[in-house]
Amino acid sequence: MEITVKQFVKEFKQQFQSMYAYSYEEGSNEQLYNALGLLVKNYISSHWKETREKYIKNSVKQVYYFSMEFLPGRQLKSNAYNLGLLDVVKEGLSELDLSFDQLAEAEADPALGNGGLGRLASCFMDSLASLGMAGNGNGIRYQYGLFRQKFVDGYQVELPENWLRYRNVWETRNDKSTCMVRFGGNVWLEENHQGHLVPHYENTLNVLAVPYDTPMVGYRNDTVNNLRLWSAEIPVEEEANYHTIEETEPIKEITQVLYPDDSNYEGRLLRLKQEYFMVSAGVQSIIRHFRKYNVPRKNIPDKVAIHINDTHPALVVPELMRILIDEEHLSWEQAWEITFKTCSYTNHTILREALEKWPIDMMKELLPRIYMIIEEINNRFVENTMPLYGERITWQTAILQNGVVNMAHLAVIGSHSVNGVAKLHTDILMNDVLKDFFELYPERFNNKTNGITQRRWVHLANPDLTQLIDEKIGENWKLTPSELKVFKGFEKDKDTLNKLTDVKLKNKKRLAAHIKEVKGITVDPNALFDVQIKRLHAYKRQHLNLLHILHRYLEIKENPSVDYVPRVFIFGAKAAPSYHYAKQIIKVINSLADLVNNDPDVGDKLKIVFFENYGVSLAEKIIPAADISEQISLASMEASGTSNMKLMANGALTLATLDGANIEIRDFVGEDNLFVFGLSSKEVYKLKENQSYQARELYESDQKLKNVLDALTNGTIPNLQDEGYALFDSLVNFNDEYFVLKDFASYVEAQNKVDDLYKDQSEWARKSLLNIASSAPFSADYTIQRYADDIWKVRSCVEEDEGVHLVDE
């Protein structure tokens, strides 16, 4: 975009004055940020309009990515960058004596997701726009995002996250495109004079769905897509029926809070309401588009792909059926053909408790018409499957089972494509979790390994690294990520390796200053920065990390001259508020941090930093400064992981089990350039199957391990209530569900290898460079290209020489 500094300065001053009626010199950071954000949005708006018009004019196929979670992160910098305006904006502001970075920090970070799932959805939105594909996001505008985490005496405390407090400059309320969503009441079918069975409703709760649209800006290609988030309101014509604030609650609460459970499924009525609300509004607005432009309904699958992100939006299937049958008067068979060809589903977890199941009674009461349709889908499925595959498979794959609606089964049956998010994960789906479906529909299954956008996670988060890569291999890699492999050619180049070490040190100094500022802890930037950042969950095994730190601490106490490389162990993790055990792990880590960080015998050998309120903005600060990336989930449990990809792309070396996408990381970078330890997924399956694992035996036979576990309960760690006992119990007395003790010895060994390598800084830098240079296959641009080619059948709408250009992988 062509805007001069002079023009920008003039427009910025005008913008500020028109909003606040005084001069920018008197503005607070929030006000200045708001003015700047609105001005940037203004620059975006013409592309936004033109992109929409182009899609309509060319009648291109559009993707609708339905997701209960999006985690876009702050948008000012990335929007200005993708538009090509970042330098102009920075220069213009500095002419006015304003700091861009300071203003950018005033933006709220919308926490409209829990973790990997939501962040993936946002990386995908960025890639869709950057590839010039017509991709729309469809989700919920939660009034309160994921809770703000604080530590009080080492315990996690949850505070409300009022991210809309100072307004959200990026969104546009679109009153022209509202829809009505109906809940509850009675429904019956009656034949009309054309012989169609049409539903009649009475006593329904009617909720107005109001869309808020946010621009998704493509990288230097003039494409701006739409993220549509729905908000629940009382229909204007029904306002008079509501007499008190309390009466309005059942409506307002629908979009009030994000469910703070990552993977864990919370069986609550409100959650089901949220899911249907988002799905119904989204599908209605798609079909309205068809009505408006008079597209024959049978062409829907050629013009629309609806993606079901995890089971949460699986009600898309019966909702699309409902609209096609009840409102468009198509036959069941016609409607089914369209629905099935339009929908596709990604599974993101094998955790049984995360695969949603809704009580049939709840579904019937809340969504009576939808339930009728689900029942019919189920009956037809059973009728067709039984003669071909017999009783066992049919009942195991049915949608209605033992009083519940199995949402994963609904999603698989209603979709033409089912994918997992890393090779291992897809294999597990096909051979275990969805094995019976794989027998029924082998052609539906495919793998799509996750990806990340390098634009946010490297170009913007790590400008010094970006500049170094540019200097060595030119800038092509920004538009063609596979070009990054050229950087491998510099693995023996002293100048490059020294500069790479300098970049890392600079990033670590910056993070060290931040640690000092927010935690009051002094850390040595030359120490090894060891990072584990992700949701807190037993399967991710932050407590394995904890046991290793405790082990080091005990060794140092026993022998203060022990030769450990100085380390800073960095954690960022929120626990679901109701996940007691995860919160106990947080408390133990925090108490151990108090002990270790203040023990003069330890000095710089060991420091522990547990950041509060981990989220996208904090990740952007931590990741460029990481030396080690902890990816230590129990093999088979982490579907893919994406922090592993971000950390690798920033030159961290991965310390990993062979789980999720770690396996592909190993394959790309080579066995010698990361640290692998622990059980393989096959070994895990075998141990579970033959039930031979005895955690207590390990505790009793391995003296080092015993010392560590005893330290949880013998008063070594100060200021604990029963948290140390809780960990001990789960690991020793309740047989250690996630095989932490089993993997302990090989983890410690791998950690010692990490130390040895770190002592050779140039060898470390060489491996770091190889990791960076091997990270391109994890660009979300490639992932999206594969979704587009194999599942959605959509193509880029920009000329080949514009924007991101994927020659090969």
Among candidate residues 770, 169, 778, the one with its CA nearest the CA of residue 457: 778
Report whether 656 contacts 665 (CB < 8 A).
yes
646 catalytic? Reply is yes
Measured from the CB atom, the residue of 103 and 117 that comes closer to ligand H53 is 117
**What count of Cα atoms within 13 Å lies in the side-chain half-sphere of residue 16?**
20
Among candidate residues 409, 414, 445, the one with its CA nearest the CA of residue 429: 445
End-to-end C-alpha distance for the chain, whole angstroms: 29
DSSP three-state, residue 606: strand
| Piece of the chain touching ligand H53 by CB under 6 A; list 17-25, 57-65, 609-617, 634-642 | 634-642
**Rule CB under 6 A: is residue 120 a binding residue for ligand H53?**
yes
**Rule CB under 6 A: is residue 639 a binding residue for ligand H53?**
yes
Per residue, what are the HEC states of 541-587? CHHHHHHHHHHHHHHHHHCCCCCCCCEEEEEECCCCCCCHHHHHHHH
Q: How many residues appear in the chain?
A: 809
Q: If you search the block for the tokens 């975009």, which residue do you land on?
A: 1
Q: Which residues contact 671 (CB under 8 A, 6 or more apart)?
A: none
**Which amino acid is located at 482 in the chain?**
S
Token digits of residue 792: 């959605």
Q: Say if strands 197-202 and 186-191 run parallel, antiparallel, or are unpaired.
A: antiparallel
Query: What part of residues 378-437 is at the interface with ligand H53 (CB under 6 A)?
Result: 421
Question: Cβ 754 to ligand H53, closest distance in Å?
Answer: 23
| Piece of the chain touching ligand H53 by CB under 6 A; list 273-281, 348-356, 577-585, 711-719 | 348-356
Among 117, 227, 405, 780, binds ligand H53 (CB under 6 A): 117
Q: Which residues contact 714 (CB under 8 A, 6 or more apart)?
A: none
**Rule CB under 6 A: is residue 275 a binding residue for ligand H53?**
no
540 catalytic? Reply is yes
Question: Cβ 762 to ligand H53, closest distance in Å?
Answer: 33
Where would I find the beta strands (DSSP E) of 242-284? none
666 catalytic? Reply is no
Token digits of residue 547: 């046991």
**Rule CB under 6 A: is residue 450 a binding residue for ligand H53?**
yes
Number of residues binding to ligand H53, judged by CB under 6 A: 19
Token digits of residue 761: 């800084």
Spot the catalytic one: 303, 348, 409, 456: 348
| Piece of the chain touching ligand H53 by CB under 6 A; list 109-117, 241-249, 502-510, 674-682 | 109-117
Among candidate residues 435, 404, 394, 395, the one with its CA nearest the CA of residue 418: 435
Q: CA-based Rg of the chain, rounded to a whole angstrom?
A: 27
348 catalytic? Reply is yes
**Rule CB under 6 A: is residue 641 a binding residue for ligand H53?**
yes
795 catalytic? Reply is no
Compose the 233-272 pattern: x for residues touching ligand H53 by CB under 6 A, - for all others.
-----------------------------xx---------
Question: Cβ 674 to ligand H53, closest distance in Å?
Answer: 18
**Rule CB under 6 A: is residue 114 a binding residue for ligand H53?**
yes
Question: Cβ 354 to ligand H53, closest distance in Å?
Answer: 5
Compose the 352-371 pattern: x for residues touching ligand H53 by CB under 6 A, - for all others.
--x-----------------
**Rule CB under 6 A: is residue 660 a binding residue for ligand H53?**
yes
557 catalytic? Reply is no
Which run of H or E residues covers position 136? Answer: strand 135-140
Report whether 569 contacts 629 (CB < 8 A).
no
Measured from the CB atom, the residue of 262 and 319 that comes closer to ligand H53 is 262
| Dihedral sign computed on CA atoms, order 745, 751, 753, 759 | negative
Spot the catalytic one: 312, 534, 548, 666: 534
Among 37, 73, 116, 211, binds ligand H53 (CB under 6 A): 116
Q: If you search the block for the tokens 């692998």, which residue do you land on?
A: 676
Question: Cβ 783 to ligand H53, closest distance in Å?
Answer: 10
Residue nearest to ligand H53 (CB): 116
| Piece of the chain touching ligand H53 by CB under 6 A; list 320-328, 360-368, 633-641, 675-683 | 633-641
Measured from the CB atom, the residue of 642 and 771 that comes closer to ligand H53 is 642
Active site residue ranges = 348, 534-535, 540, 642, 646
Binding site for ligand H53 (CB under 6 A): 114-117, 120, 262-263, 310, 348-349, 354, 421, 450, 638-642, 660
